Amino acid sequence: MTHATARAIRIAREDRTPQDDARSVAACIRKRLIDAGQRFNANDNIAAFIHPGELDALRDEVEERMQDVLDTLVIDTANDHNTVDTAHRVARMFVDEVFRGRYEHAPRVTSFPNVAGIDELIIVGPITVRSACSHHLCPIMGRIWLGVVPDADSDLIGLSKYARLCDWVMSRPQIQEEAVAMIADEFERRIRPVGLAILMEATHFCIHWRGVRDGEASMTSSAMRGTFRHDAGLRREFLHLAKGAAGRQVHAVGQES
Ligand SMILES: [Zn+2]
């Protein structure tokens, strides 16, 4: 954004009326979601409610509001060469990068019938994932391991698709415990396995950077579905293999049956 554009946005903002805000693209999308009774929490995908071309307008609106935030923080973006384009950059980062999992449809995942009738434990990971906490929008950096036990009726998906789907769910403001459950739901629906295990280990910058400022703490959470819920041996095998992949100790949290 040029200085002239920044100035134009500022002038447009000063002229903004409550009626303009009600006509905003964000307000239109929000109304569609409410009318459909659809939840739109930070970690929900709302792609089905965004019409073609609206994402560009939405990005512009986020930029305007981000400029409001910078102005309210009393940062002289008109004269500070470092922040003159910050509202534009942050809007693009939120909509097109770090939170795109809210606005983009799910990645296409081709599945294959399990013709060989594989029924042994498959482990995928570690998959590197990045997200932000819903509470402070601080980064979360983590790794995910998946354990899948298919049967003859299950579908199998390509290795890279595991990473794509995890990235899609994690590219939203998240809470780690909910993210793990959401990822489990996505894979359960697509693979229809008899058992599914998800393990996520992540560091949260809202602990490192602010609050208690603990540089070491990490969080491990898991979701155990199907046979993993009642087969302690299978759970142990999964955690042992994930631990081997990690090269260090991994503790699963909860879901003991
Ligand atoms: Zn936080």
Architecture of domain 3-103: Orthogonal Bundle (1.10)
What CA–CA distance (Å, rounded) separates 244 from 122?
14
- Distance from residue 78's CA to the centre of ligand 1 (Å): 31
Q: What is the pLDDT of residue 5?
A: 59
185: tokens are 């739901």
Domain boundaries for CATH 1.10.286 within the chain: 3-103
pLDDT band at 250 (very low <50, low <70, confident <90, very high): very low
Give the Å distance between the CA of 156 and the centre of ligand 1.
Answer: 35
Residue range 12-28: mean pLDDT, rounded:
78
CA of 173 to the centre of ligand 1 (A): 10
Taking the centre of ligand 1 as the mean of its atom positions, its distance from the CA of residue 180, in whole angstroms, is 17
Confidence of residue 12 (pLDDT cuts 50, 70, 90): low
190-247, pLDDT tens digit by residue?
Answer: 999 999 999 999 999 998 988 888 888 899 999 999 999 999 999 999 999 887 755 4
To the question of domain 112-246 being in CATH 3.30.1130.10, the answer is yes
How many angstroms separate the alpha carbon of residue 160 from the centre of ligand 1? 29
Model-level pTM?
A: 0.87
Q: Calculate how far, in angstroms, residue 127's C-alpha sits from the geometric centre of ligand 1.
A: 22
Phi, psi (rounded to 5 degrees) for 113: -65, 145
CA of 210 to the centre of ligand 1 (A): 9
**Sign of the four-CA dihedral 208, 212, 216, 217:** negative
- As annotated, the residues of the chain forming the CATH 3.30.1130.10 domain(s) are 112-246
pLDDT surpasses 70 at 107: yes
Q: Provide the pLDDT for residue 20.
A: 72
Q: Residue 245: its pLDDT value, please?
A: 58
Cα 93 to ligand 1 centre (Å):
18
**Ligand 1 centroid from CA 234, angstroms:** 33
108 alpha carbon to ligand 1 midpoint, in Å?
Answer: 31
Cα of 118 from ligand 1 centre, angstroms: 41
Pick from 197, 209, 208: which is nearest to 235 by CA? 197
Distance 179 CA to ligand 1 centre (A): 14
pLDDT of 256 > 50? The answer is no
Measure 115 CA to ligand 1 centroid, in angstroms: 45
- In this structure, of 6-20, 118-132, 182-196, 236-250, the range with the lowest mean pLDDT score is 6-20
Q: How confident is the prediction for the chain on average, in pLDDT?
A: 90
- The alpha carbon of 237 and the centre of ligand 1 are apart by a number of angstroms equal to 32
> Pick the residue with more confidence: 44 or 255?
44
The Å distance, Cα 142 to ligand 1 centre, comes to 14
Over the stretch 227-239, which tens digit does the pLDDT of each residue have?
999 999 999 999 9
* CA 133 to ligand 1 centroid distance, Å: 5
CA 81–ligand 1 middle distance (angstroms): 30
Q: Give the pLDDT score at 251.
A: 38
Per DSSP, the residues of the chain read: --HHHHHHHHHHHHT--HHHHHTSHHHHHHHHHHHTT----TTS--GGG--TTHHHHHHHHHHHHHHHHHHHTT--TTT-TTTTTHHHHHHHIIIIIITHHHHSPPPP--EEE-TT---S-EEEEEEEEEEEETTT--EEEEEEEEEEE--TT-EEE-HHHHHHHHHHHHSSEE-HHHHHHHHHHHHHHHH--SEEEEEEEEEEHHHHTSTT--SS--EEEEEEEEHHHH-HHHHHHHHHHHHHHHTS-----S---
Supply the pLDDT for residue 248.
42
Give the model confidence (pLDDT) of 161-198 as tens digits. 999 999 999 999 999 999 999 999 999 999 999 999 99
Residue 252 has pLDDT above 50, yes or no: no
Per mean pLDDT, which range of 4-13, 51-60, 199-208 is the poorest? 4-13
